[in-house]
Amino acid sequence: MKRIAIVGSGISGLAAAHGFLRAGHRVDLFSDRTAEQWLRESRPTGTAARFDLALSYERELGLNFWDDVAPQGEGVFLTFCPTLHNPLVTLIGRQRRPFQAIDVRLQSARWMDELAARGGNVIIEPVSAERLDAIAAEHDLTIVATGRAELCRLFARDDARSVHTTAQRNLAMIITTGGPARFDEVPLLPVRFDFLGTDGEIFFVPYFHKDAGPSWNILVEAKPGSRLDRFAGAKSGAEALKILKNVVAELFPWDAAFVWDMTLADPLGWLVGQVVPAVRKASARLSSGRVVAALGDTSISYDPIAAQGANSGIKQARHLVEAAGDAPLDEAWIDATFESFWAAHASAAFTFSNLLLEPLTAPARELLIAQYGSDGRADNRGGRQRVANAFFENFNDPRTLTPAFTDMRRARQVVAEQTGGRWLWSGVRGRASIARDQVKQKLSRLR
């Protein structure tokens, strides 16, 4: 049995705490807030929609308390507009297993209480750098999972892996109730993804709010200075929601009715800000020479565009727990464990996330064209549907399709595999359908 200290009661720290506890270790979890404070006084740190690979670890740990009540997201309903009011391509993809987005405040509160009930020690204390040193002296492994808060600066940025030095999007997140339960146009419960090449993206995520239950969590990813970039000055969630309704009516009018009756779920249920995507060194040496490990957002900060942060944090927690054997959990172990996590999962997730921040690549365009006409029906086994499904499955496991987004040969290979060897025909047919639908749209505007 090892003595494990974890600082931070977000999704990553708590998943690791439960994992280490279940593996038979002694766990001390340090949190700057109580479960009650998570519920009543906190902002959510993000939407944190999770896909099957992450959710399956939560289930293994017996932490899936909301399976029977939370909306089960089934797929994606994407409209791609290269320019304003030009919905060129739609994609309706279905995932093999559902995704879920649970209010992280509810989740942290419940997972903290559960940790204490299972025999973990929960210590309420904001940990300073000096205190961290004292904690590290008493434990075999000390993990810092404090998100992007102060302590993450202990870990040096990995310049070779980080790619960006500035935020690529200005973000707004608003949790709403009172909207429709579904999008009537599609036969599944989707994350609605409006993609405007010139300005940014809006996501409508089916969500389980701590008080209101089923609801929508809306994420705006605005390119700085664009027409979407209007939320920075919002003083309240109600104001942010008002801006959102105007933005949707102006830029994505087909979804205006969907947001019209929405109200703010709770006064703290919103955020504006930015994330500078970054990979940090796995270990940090404190002034005493003791070493601590980074986990979750402290280790890798993702822009939320590809919904990878919480998924990656859970996968990393699992990786750490499973790598811990009898050998000392020292600096060499921390660094080697991160390297194997990077190779196995995070490199693909980080690349995928960064790719979505950039203009569409030519191979990605090829995939979008090949799937055109997907309808998301569960009984649709056709090639176009399979390409659309593969696109959304990549959010669950970014190792599957990410390499194809930058490699035309691989993209065509994927299309050929999914459509029974007809990538050329899929491309021709896709382009013809898009052209036909564009003409129809233009004619309908003339009427």
Ligand X SMILES: Cc1cc2nc3c(=O)[nH]c(=O)nc-3n(C[C@H](O)[C@H](O)[C@H](O)COP(=O)(O)OP(=O)(O)OC[C@H]3O[C@@H](n4cnc5c(N)ncnc54)[C@H](O)[C@@H]3O)c2cc1C
What residue ranges bind ligand X (CB under 6 A)? 7-13, 30-33, 45-50, 104, 126-127, 145-147, 149, 151, 171, 173, 219, 271, 275, 296-297, 304, 307-311, 313
CA 406, CA 125: separation in Å to the nearest integer? 46
Considering the complex, what minimum distance in angstroms separates the CB of residue 359 from ligand X? 22
Nearer to ligand X, 132 or 388 (CB): 132
Q: At closest approach, how far in Å is the CB of 55 from ligand X?
A: 11
Residue placing its CB nearer to ligand X in the complex, 129 or 434: 129
Q: Which is nearer to ligand X, 12 or 79 (CB)?
A: 12
Residue (5 or 387) nearer to ligand X, CB: 5
Q: What contacts 182, CB < 8 A, 6 or more positions away?
A: 189
Q: Which of 414, 368, 329 is nearest to 1 (CA)?
A: 329
Find out whether 16 and 62 touch, Cβ atoms under 8 Å. Answer: no
Nearer Cβ to ligand X, position 169 or 429? 169
Residue 102: CB minimum distance to ligand X, A: 11
Please tell me the total number of residues recorded for the chain in this structure: 447
Least distance to ligand X, CB of residue 38, Å: 7
> What is the rounded distance in angstroms from the CA atom of residue 383 to the CA atom of residue 377?
13
The torsion region of residue 119 among left (phi > 0), alpha (psi -120 to 50) and beta comes to left
Query: Would you say 8 or 93 has its CB closer to ligand X?
Result: 8
- Cβ 411 to ligand X, closest distance in Å? 25
Using the minimum distance from each CB to ligand X, give the nearer residue, 201 or 297. 297
Considering the complex, state which of residue 125 and residue 185 has its C-beta at the smaller distance from ligand X. 125
CB of 340: closest distance to ligand X in angstroms? 19
Give the shortest CB-147-to-ligand X separation in angstroms.
2
Residue 261: left (phi > 0), alpha (psi -120 to 50), or beta? Answer: alpha
CB nearer ligand X, residue 277 or residue 313: 313
Q: How far is the CB of 8 from ligand X (least distance, A)?
A: 3
Cβ at position 282, least distance to ligand X in Å: 14
Of the CA atoms within 13 Å of residue 212, those in its CB half-sphere come to: 19
Q: Are 403 and 371 spatial neighbours (Cβ–Cβ below 8 Å)?
A: no
What phi and psi, each to the nearest 5 degrees, are found at residue 156?
-65, 145
Query: Smallest distance, Å, CB 140 to ligand X?
Result: 20
Measured CA distances, 82 to 90, 151, 390, 395, 440 (Å): 12, 40, 22, 22, 18
CB of residue 331 to ligand X, shortest distance in Å: 21
Specify the residue, 104 or 387, whose C-beta has the smaller distance to ligand X. 104
How many Cα neighbours within 13 Å face the side chain of 310? 28
Nearer to ligand X, 294 or 388 (CB): 294
